[in-house]
Amino acid sequence: MIGGLFIYNHKGEVLISRVYRDDIGRNAVDAFRVNVIHARQQVRSPVTNIARTSFFHVKRSNIWLAAVTKQNVNAAMVFEFLYKMCDVMASYFGKISEENIKNNFVLIYELLDEILDFGYPQNSETGSLKTFITQQGIKGQTKEEQSQITSQVTGQIGWRREGIKYRRNELFLDVLESVNLLMSPQGQVLSAHVSGRVVMKSYLSGMPECKFGMNDKIIIDKAGKGGVTNEAGKSTSGKQSIAIDDCTFNQCVRLSKFDSERSISFIPPDGEYELMRYRTTKDIILPFRVIPLVREVGRTKLEVKVVIKSNFKPSLLAQKIEVRIPTPLNTSGVQVICMKGKAKYKASENAIVWKIKRMAGMKESQISAEIELLPTNDKKKWARPPISMNFEVPFAPSGLKVRYLKVFESKLNYSDHDVIKWVRYIGRSGIYETRC
């Protein structure tokens, strides 16, 4: 199991050092600094073995978190734990920075003592941690409160405490998708997938039992078969359902129920959390198409023309559109003309950045640029990195639709109808690249 956990600043100075196992000595702290943080080369692996000691590290801005062990630990678990650790710290004191860590070092030690015991991760849900790791001491608690804390920390529903009350029961569902594309210069889709998340903000009283439904092809098909099997029924439901390649759920979701009935039921944590993640690869709506044209005019000039086409309902508006056209390292000057938005050559980033605030569906826009090159004797050809794009659209490129989210709370006096529900769809660009 994890033998020790260190946090360093960018210089390699130790900010936090907690050793859980006897086989990890003080020299391990230095070994990581010397061999990884101060290493001349770029980091070649997130797992490093130095003198039979293994170091797992993740970096958050310029802070290094390293877990150390001498045993054959579950590597996936160590990384998951490090991420979780970051989440917990962020929810306690915001951004993970040297300053914040130094300011909260006593709290971090307290947390580390609680969420990692002898190197075994323990309950790390911020919801329940915040009930008893408060930096205020736990003097004032009554016996009932104490046992409520412990039963929540160890209980089956460790993510939610009892007795939550809201005057207004309300919930927000955000379907956040990032659409990823790799397209060849000829416009052929090399790979495309949507990775989506359903984020829920719940402000519900009591211990509500929720059921979430979406236009998952498997369920719709099942329902179609069970019910009326006429042509009409098929065409209405079949068209709008989507094939989900795979999905993962927050730990509140009853996985065995999903496995057997494909129904998503759970008792939600209070406040904001990620209900599920999913991935689709079929019938993706690609919001934009990028058509590049690069022409080399002699050895010292490049002509670039890029057309973007928006491919969604004209009534919808895409926002925050940014097209990034890489330029060679030996660029000396760039002249740009664009029909819409603003374009600028950014020498420090070796790219022309073209920004458009808004663009409606089924429209087209174009940029052309002349790139002057310095003559070089460098034999190596320019690698031509792909043209990448950023945008935000108000729909789910996967086609996912929320069909319902039902809330049942038998003990309290409110019903599904009393809950105010909000649903929002946001599609963003993930890695959206077109080779040129």
Site for other proteins in 16-45 (CB under 8 A): 16-17, 19-23, 26, 29, 42-45
176, two tokens:
């956040």
Helix (H) or strand (E) holding 29: helix 26-32
Supply the minimum distance, in Å, between the C-beta of residue 25 and other proteins. Answer: 11
The CA distance from 6 to 64, in Å, is 8
Q: Does 265 bind other proteins (CB under 8 A)?
A: no
Contact between 232 and other proteins by CB under 8 A: the answer reads no
Category of 316 on φ-ψ map: left (φ > 0), alpha (ψ -120 to 50) or beta: beta
**Rounded least distance, CB 58 to other proteins, Å:** 6
Q: Does 3 bind other proteins (CB under 8 A)?
A: no
Q: x/- string (CB under 8 A) for other proteins, residues 384-423?
A: xxx-x-----------------------------------
248 binds other proteins (CB under 8 A): yes
Q: How many CB atoms lie within 10 A of CB 193?
A: 18
Sole window of 63-71, 228-236, 303-311, 350-358 interacting with other proteins (rule: CB under 8 A): 63-71
SS3 272: strand
Rounded to 5 degrees, what are φ and ψ at 13? Answer: -80, 140
**Positive or negative torsion for Cα 243, 245, 249, 253:** positive
- Choose one: 7-15, 224-232, 297-305, 365-373; the region binding other proteins (CB under 8 A): 7-15
Residue 167 as a binder of other proteins (CB under 8 A): the answer is no
Cα distance between residue 75 and residue 80, in whole Å = 9
Phi (first) and psi of residue 21, to 5 degrees: -125, 150
Amino acid at 206: G
DSSP letter, residue 194: E
Would you say 323 or 359 has its CB closer to other proteins?
323
Q: Please state whether beta strands 402-408 and 209-214 pair in parallel, antiparallel, or not at all (unpaired).
A: antiparallel
Size of the site for other proteins (CB under 8 A): 106
- List Cβ neighbours of 221 (8 Å cut-off, separation of 6 or more): 238, 241
Contact 173, 198 (CB under 8 A): yes
State both tokens at 249: 């759920």
Paired sense of beta strands 170-183 and 420-434, if any: parallel
List 83, 404, 408, 422, residue binding other proteins (CB under 8 A): 83
What length does the chain have? 436
Q: Is 99 helix (H, G, I), strand (E, B) or coil?
A: helix
Is 349 buried (19+), middle (13-18) or exposed (0-12) by CB count in 10 A?
exposed
Query: Is 355 marked within a binding site?
Result: yes
Letters for 325-364 (x = contact with other proteins by CB under 8 A, - = none) are: ----------------------------------------
Q: Tell me which of 39, 62, 74, 376 binds other proteins, using CB under 8 A.
A: 74
Letter for the amino acid at 146? Q
Q: 95 among the known binding-site residues?
A: no
Comparison of 264 and 367: residue with beta carbon closer to other proteins: 264
Q: Treating both helix axes as pointing N-terminal to C-terminal, what angle do 75-93 and 105-115 enclose, rounded to 10 degrees?
A: 140
Region from 50-58, 307-315, 336-344, 420-428 binding other proteins, contact rule CB under 8 A:
50-58
Query: Can you tell me which of 195, 330, 366, 368 binds other proteins, judged by CB under 8 A?
Result: 195
Q: Is 144 a residue that touches other proteins (CB under 8 A)?
A: no
Is 342 labeled as ligand-binding? yes
**Position 62 contacts other proteins (CB under 8 A):** no
Nearer to other proteins, 149 or 316 (CB): 149
Selected from 3, 158, 269, 397, the binder of other proteins by CB under 8 A is 158
User: Site for other proteins (CB under 8 A): which residue of 31, 79, 234, 401?
Assistant: 79
- Give the contacts of 122 (CB within 8 A, at least 6 positions apart): 114, 115, 116
Cα separation values, 198 from 146, 223, 227, 366, 383, Å? 34, 23, 28, 34, 38
Q: Based on the shown chain and the rule CB under 8 A, indicate whether residue 140 belongs to the binding site for other proteins.
A: no
Instruction: Give the nearer residue to other proteins in terms of CB position, either 155 or 213.
Output: 155
Query: Nearest distance from residue 228's CB to other proteins, in Å?
Result: 29
Under rule CB under 8 A, residue 48 binds other proteins? no
Contact between 428 and other proteins per CB under 8 A: no
**Shortest separation between residue 78's beta carbon and other proteins, angstroms:** 8
Shortest distance in whole angstroms from residue 374 CB to other proteins: 19
Based on the shown chain and the rule CB under 8 A, indicate whether residue 61 belongs to the binding site for other proteins.
Answer: no
Among 102, 313, 357, 424, binds other proteins (CB under 8 A): 102
- Backbone φ, ψ for residue 40 (5° rounding): -70, -40
Q: Which of residues 269-288 bind other proteins (CB under 8 A)?
A: 274, 276-277, 279
Which residue ranges make up the annotated binding site?
342, 344, 346, 355, 357
